[in-house]
Amino acid sequence: MRLFIAIRFDENMLRALKNTEQRLKDKGLKGRYQSEENLHLTLAFIGEYADPEEVLEVMEEVPGEAFSLRLEGYGNFRDVVWAGFSKCDELHRYVKRLRHALSEAGIPFDQKSFFPHVTLVRKAELSDGHVLPGIMVPMTTMKAEHISLMRSDRGKNGMHYTEIGTVHTATSVT
């Protein structure tokens, strides 16, 4: 199974992200836009791993508190357009603890530095110099109170993500 750990978004955040995608479309940006059900913030990409229950057990052991995520800005990595988030120390500390716990349990994951973003468009047809159309991303905020273990499956229309399990954070903090 191809697995990753992510934060799924509430309705308000999803609406803001879909609104941002629509603004990009309205400005003429062509590409493969993400479906609403596939929008998420990846905390750790595990890849092929046979035991999702083991991953869920590790996730449950990681101490955490709810924290606020605020959508802010957008950019691109080559032909991938993403929306970003404001700096959130609580998020970065949580990801560090999560990745450490995965490592201690011998569960492999992608070691790239954590850069909080959500992919909006893949295979974007960007103009010369990768200039994105000028739009404003709504500065929407949500409380992240749980994380999800997700499975990734390739379908005829691209990737499809399915939630396998959810782990709630310990307490709610602003």
Angle subtended at Cα 82 by Cα 69 and Cα 151, rounded to the nearest 5 degrees: 75
> Which residue, among 147, 91, 144, 151, has the nearest Cα to 116 in the 3D structure?
91
Domain residue ranges in the chain: 2-168
| Per-residue pLDDT at 130 | 62
Q: Are 46 and 109 in contact, with CB atoms under 8 Å apart?
A: yes
- Could you tell me what percent of the chain has a pLDDT over 90? 73
Across the chain, mean pLDDT equals: 90
Looking at the domain that runs over 2-168, which CATH code has it been given?
Answer: 3.90.1140.10
The pair of structure tokens assigned to 91 is: 């998020």
Predicted TM-score (pTM) of the model is 0.90
